[in-house]
């Protein structure tokens, strides 16, 4: 019983870690992308506004994808651990 509980907590923490990393990458990518396109296509861009808007969009879209992608990454990691234990 204790083993099941500890493994459940372990996988929950791994899932939260993956969610955090994906949201962080989304926010970073969104910020950089908005700043880059603002620099390329706007005559006098407001970089502060573009950075905040890019961060908001990146964290939003990263948050949409992070839950499902984290589950997939956890399943891949669990399968790898299972196959290593079988050998």
What pLDDT, on the 0 to 100 scale, is given for residue 87?
Answer: 82
pLDDT per residue over 1-14, tens digit each? 888 999 999 999 99
pLDDT per residue over 21-44, tens digit each? 999 999 999 999 999 999 999 999
Q: Which pTM does this prediction carry?
A: 0.86
Total residue count of the chain as it appears in this document = 87
What pLDDT, on the 0 to 100 scale, is given for residue 3?
Answer: 87
Q: Please enumerate in sequence order all residues whose Cβ is within 8 A of that of 54, keeping only pairs 6 or more positions apart, or say none.
A: 30, 31, 32, 33, 34, 35
Q: How far is CA 71 from CA 54, 64, 66, in A?
A: 26, 13, 9
């Amino acid at each position: 019983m204790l083993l099941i509980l500890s493994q459940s907590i372990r996988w929950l923490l791994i899932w939260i870690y993956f969610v955090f990393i994906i949201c962080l990458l989304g926010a970073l990518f969104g910020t950089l992308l908005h700043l880059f396109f603002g620099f390329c296509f706007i005559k006098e861009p407001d970089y502060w506004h573009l950075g905040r808007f890019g961060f908001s969009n990146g964290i939003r879209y990263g948050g949409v994808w992070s839950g499902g992608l984290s589950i997939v990454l956890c399943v891949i990691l669990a399968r790898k651990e299972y196959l290593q234990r079988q050998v």
